[in-house]
Structure 1
Amino acid sequence: MIKRLVVIFSFLIFAIGCTGSSQVSPLDTKRSFPLQTGSGSNPKVILLVIDSLMDKSLNKAIEDGKAPALEFLKKNGQYSTELVSSYPTMSVTIDSSLITGTYPDQHKIPGLVWFDDKERRIITYGNGLFEILKLGVSDFAKNGLYEYNNKDLSSNVKTIHEDLDDAGFKTASINALIYRGNHPHTLKVPGFISAAAKLPDEIQTMGPETLSLGVFSRENQENHHIVNRIGLNDSFAAEELIYLLKTNTLPSFTILYLPENDFTVHRKGPSTIKGIEDADKQLQNVLNSFPDWNDALDNLVWVVMGDSNQSIVKSNKKEALIDLRKELSEYNILELGEAVRPKDEIVITANERMAYLYILKEDIQLRQMAEKLQKESRISWIAWKDNEGINVISPDHQGELIFQPGGPYKDQYHQTWSVKGNIDILDMKVKENTISFGNYPDALARLYGAAESQKGRFLITDAKPGYEFIGESSPEHSGGGAHGSMHKADSMVPLIVSGTDKSIENLRIVDLKDWIIEVIQR
Structure 2
Amino acid sequence: MTLETRRKLVLVVIDGLTPQMLEASLEDRSLPTLAALAEHGTLGRAATTFPSLTPVCLSSIATGAHPDVHEIPHLVWWHRGERRLVEYGSSFGAARVAGLGRTLRDTLVEMNARHLGRGAVTLFESLADAGLETAAVNFTAYRGRTLHRSSVPFLGRVRGPEQFFFFNLFQAGRTGAPLSFRNRARGSIDAYAAAVGRWLVTRDGFDFLLFYLSDYDYASHLAGPDTARTVLARCDAAVGGLVDAAGGLDAFLDRYAVIAISDHGQTAVRQVARVADAFRHEPETLVAASNRAAHVYRLGDSAPVVRRLAERLDREPAADVVLFREGDTFVARREGAELCMRDSGAGVALEGDPAVLDQPDAVARALAALRCPNAGDVVISAAAGWEFADLAGKHHLGGGSHGSLDAGDSLVPMLTVGLDGPMPSSVVDVAPLVLRHFGVEAPGYGARRAA
Q: Using structure 2 for the length normalisation, give the TM-score.
A: 0.91
Q: 1:136 to 1:403 in 2, by over 3 A?
A: same
Which residues in structure 2 correspond to 1:74-223 (within 5 Å)?
74-80=38-44, 82-189=45-152, 200-201=153-154, 203-218=156-171, 219-223=173-177
In the alignment, which residue of structure 1 is the partner of 2:250? Answer: 294
| Distance of 1:457 and 1:233 partners within structure 2 | 33
Q: SS at 2:156's partner residue?
A: strand
In the alignment, which residue of structure 2 is the partner of 1:356? Answer: 295
In the alignment, which residue of structure 2 is the partner of 1:377? Answer: 317
Residue deviations 1:199-237, cap 9 Å, x none? x35511111111011211223342224343689711111
In the alignment, which residue of structure 2 is the partner of 1:420? Answer: 351
Match for 1:278: what amino acid?
R
How well do the aligned residues superpose, as a CA RMSD in angstroms?
A: 2.1
1:451 aligns with 2:370: yes
Q: Displacement of 1:159 after TM fit?
A: 0.8
Aligned residues: 434
Query: Does structure 1 conserve the Cα–Cα contact (< 8 Å) formed by 2:330 and 2:340?
Result: yes
Q: Displacement of 1:402 after TM fit?
A: 1.5
Match for 1:392: what amino acid?
A
Q: SS at 2:384's partner residue?
A: coil
Q: 1:407 to 1:156 in 2, by over 3 A?
A: closer
| Distance of 2:69 and 2:183 partners within structure 1 | 32
Q: Displacement of 1:111 after TM fit?
A: 1.0
Q: Displacement of 1:293 after TM fit?
A: 1.9
In the alignment, which residue of structure 2 is the partner of 1:262? Answer: 217
Q: Displacement of 1:61 after TM fit?
A: 2.9
Match for 1:330: what amino acid?
H
Equivalent residue for 2:278, pick from 327, 330, 339: 327
Match for 1:130: what amino acid?
G
| Distance of 2:23 and 2:343 partners within structure 1 | 38
Q: Displacement of 1:287 after TM fit?
A: 1.7
| Distance of 1:203 and 1:167 partners within structure 2 | 27
| Distance of 1:307 and 1:215 partners within structure 2 | 23
Residue deviations 1:362-399, cap 9 Å, x none? 2311111211111123321211112132112222x43x
| Distance of 2:17 and 2:223 partners within structure 1 | 14
Match for 1:361: what amino acid?
G
Q: 1:293 to 1:39 in 2, by over 3 A?
A: farther
Q: 1:86 to 1:474 in 2, by over 3 A?
A: farther
Query: Does structure 1 conserve the Cα–Cα contact (< 8 Å) formed by 2:223 and 2:398?
Result: yes
Q: SS at 2:135's partner residue?
A: strand
Determine what percentage of the aligned residue pairs are the same residue: 26
| Distance of 1:446 and 1:39 partners within structure 2 | 34
Q: Displacement of 1:271 after TM fit?
A: 2.3
Q: Displacement of 1:117 after TM fit?
A: 1.5
Match for 2:203: what amino acid?
T
1:224 aligns with 2:178: yes
Q: SS at 1:270's partner residue?
A: coil
| Distance of 1:139 and 1:296 partners within structure 2 | 42
In the alignment, which residue of structure 1 is the partner of 2:22? Answer: 58
Q: Displacement of 1:310 after TM fit?
A: 0.1
| Distance of 1:131 and 1:451 partners within structure 2 | 24
| Distance of 2:181 and 2:264 partners within structure 1 | 27
In the alignment, which residue of structure 2 is the partner of 1:386? Answer: 326
| Distance of 1:312 and 1:517 partners within structure 2 | 36
1:279 aligns with 2:235: yes
Query: Does structure 2 conserve the Cα–Cα contact (< 8 Å) formed by 1:128 and 1:474?
Result: no
Residue deviations 1:125-147, cap 9 Å, x none? 11101111011011111112221
Residue deviations 1:442-487, cap 9 Å, x none? 2222111111212576211111211111244143111111100011
Query: Does structure 2 conserve the Cα–Cα contact (< 8 Å) formed by 1:299 and 1:499?
Result: no
Moved more, 360-369 or 84-93: 360-369
| Distance of 2:139 and 2:21 partners within structure 1 | 23
Match for 1:401: what amino acid?
L
1:403 aligns with 2:361: no
Q: 1:245 to 1:453 in 2, by over 3 A?
A: same
Gaps in structure 1 of 5+ consecutive residues: 1-37, 190-199, 315-319, 332-343, 409-415, 428-439
In the alignment, which residue of structure 2 is the partner of 1:73? Answer: 37
Q: SS at 1:373's partner residue?
A: coil
Match for 1:116: what amino acid?
H
1:484 aligns with 2:403: yes
Match for 1:132: what amino acid?
A
Query: Does structure 2 conserve the Cα–Cα contact (< 8 Å) formed by 1:232 and 1:259?
Result: no
In the alignment, which residue of structure 2 is the partner of 1:15? Answer: none
| Distance of 1:258 and 1:66 partners within structure 2 | 18
Query: Does structure 2 conserve the Cα–Cα contact (< 8 Å) formed by 1:262 and 1:275?
Result: no
Q: Displacement of 1:186 after TM fit?
A: 0.7
Q: Using structure 1 for the length normalisation, give the TM-score.
A: 0.79
Query: Does structure 2 conserve the Cα–Cα contact (< 8 Å) formed by 1:298 and 1:499?
Result: no
| Distance of 1:264 and 1:456 partners within structure 2 | 29
Query: Does structure 1 conserve the Cα–Cα contact (< 8 Å) formed by 2:77 and 2:374?
Result: no
In the alignment, which residue of structure 1 is the partner of 2:421? Answer: 503
Q: SS at 2:55's partner residue?
A: helix
Equivalent residue for 2:285, pick from 346, 361, 370: 346
Q: SS at 1:521's partner residue?
A: coil
Q: Displacement of 1:277 after TM fit?
A: 1.1
Gaps in structure 2 of 5+ consecutive residues: 441-451
Match for 2:48: what amino acid?
S
Match for 1:441: what amino acid?
P
Q: Displacement of 1:327 after TM fit?
A: 2.4
In the alignment, which residue of structure 2 is the partner of 1:192? Answer: none
Match for 1:402: what amino acid?
C
Match for 2:39: what amino acid?
K
In the alignment, which residue of structure 2 is the partner of 1:367? Answer: 307
Residue deviations 1:239-263, cap 9 Å, x none? 11211122232x1111010000001
For the pair shown, the structure with the greater C-alpha radius of gyration is 1
Q: Displacement of 1:309 after TM fit?
A: 0.4
Q: SS at 1:347's partner residue?
A: strand
